[in-house]
């Protein structure tokens, strides 16, 4: 459940990916580690993800500076390199300004 | 596989949701219908989705005007009302400006 208050504008990094379909040994653990590590970064706001055929992971950030710092984080760089080498057949990264939001709760 | 050329800036609508966990009769069919219908709209660019616990659906659009027209589409309005009445326990909509993008392909 997302209880984040509206604080637009903020930033979203949409990361969509397909895995190679090989064993993907270590992928789930690394994904969890990176999610945990992202939460500790300055400017981090939230994280959402789901995978069926395609995986979609969205991290939310206060600023472009926070995103740039997270991208350059040493452990994250290692994970990115491992992803390119072993896990992903394709991915796409989109840097987005979240201009407006609204929600519904039963 | 996404073969869309870089044409930033454009818009993304991030729709994250949780289902009620009841039968969700008709939900999958309606979701597919709405995806098919969205593709026929003016200004539509792309669609990506995945669901595990949380569902994430992202539609991509040329402009805010295209998004507003799609939101007000009669069949889509019916689906939105049905979603609130029967399917969703929670959802959140974020309107985003995609400022930058890059991808990797093996």
* pLDDT confidence of residue B5: 60
Rounded to the nearest 5 degrees, what angle is found at the Cα of A54, between the Cα atoms of B65 and A14? 50
CB contact under 8 A, A95 and B99: yes
Q: Which candidate from A93, A97, A98 shows the least CB-CB separation from B102?
A: A93
CB contact under 8 A, A50 and B54: yes
pLDDT tens per residue across all 106 residues of chain A: 455 565 899 999 999 999 998 788 899 999 999 999 999 999 999 999 999 989 999 999 999 999 999 999 999 999 999 999 999 999 999 999 999 999 999 8
Domain count, chain B: 1
Residues of the domain holding B72: 28-57+65-101
pLDDT > 90: percent of chain B: 87
- Helix A27-39 vs helix A74-82: crossing angle, to nearest 10: 150
* pTM reported for the whole predicted model: 0.92
Assigned domain for B106 exists: no
Structure tokens at B67: 């998004």
Evaluate whether B17 touches B88 at the Cβ level (below 8 Å). yes
DSSP B13-55: EEEEEEE-SS--TTHHHHHHHHHHHHHTSTTEEEEEEEESSSE
Global ipTM = 0.91
> Per the omega criterion (within 30 degrees of 0), is the bond before B45 cis?
no
CB contact under 8 A, B2 and A90: yes
The Cα A4–Cα A2 span in angstroms is: 6
Assigned domain for B79 exists: yes
* pLDDT confidence of residue A1: 46
Assigned domain for B83 exists: yes
DSSP β-bridge partners for residue B93 = A102, B15
Quick check: B92 contacting A, CB < 8 Å? Answer: yes
Assigned domain for B14 exists: no
The Cα A26–Cα A48 span in angstroms is: 20
Rounded to the nearest 5 degrees, what angle is found at the Cα of A3, between the Cα atoms of B14 and B10? 20
* pLDDT confidence of residue A78: 96
Assigned domain for A72 exists: yes
- Taking CA–CA distances from A16, the nearest residue in chain B reads B48
Please name which of B52, B70, B55 lies closest in space to residue B12, comparing C-alpha atoms.
B70
Assigned domain for A14 exists: no
Query: Where do the DSSP E strands lie in chain A?
Result: 10-19, 44-51, 55-61, 88-105
Quick check: A23 contacting B, CB < 8 Å? Answer: no
Assigned domain for A106 exists: no
């Amino acid at each position: 459940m997302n209880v984040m208050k509206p604080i637009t504008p903020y930033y979203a990094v949409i990361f969509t990916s397909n895995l190679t379909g090989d064993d993907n040994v270590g992928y789930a653990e690394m994904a969890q580690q990176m999610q945990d590590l992202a939460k500790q970064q300055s400017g981090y706001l939230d994280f959402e993800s789901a995978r069926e055929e395609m995986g979609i992971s969205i991290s939310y950030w206060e600023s472009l500076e926070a995103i740039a710092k997270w991208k350059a984080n040493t452990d994250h760089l290692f994970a990115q390199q491992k992803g390119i080498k072993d896990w992903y057949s394709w991915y796409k990264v989109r840097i987005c300004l979240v201009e407006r939001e609204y929600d519904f709760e039963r």
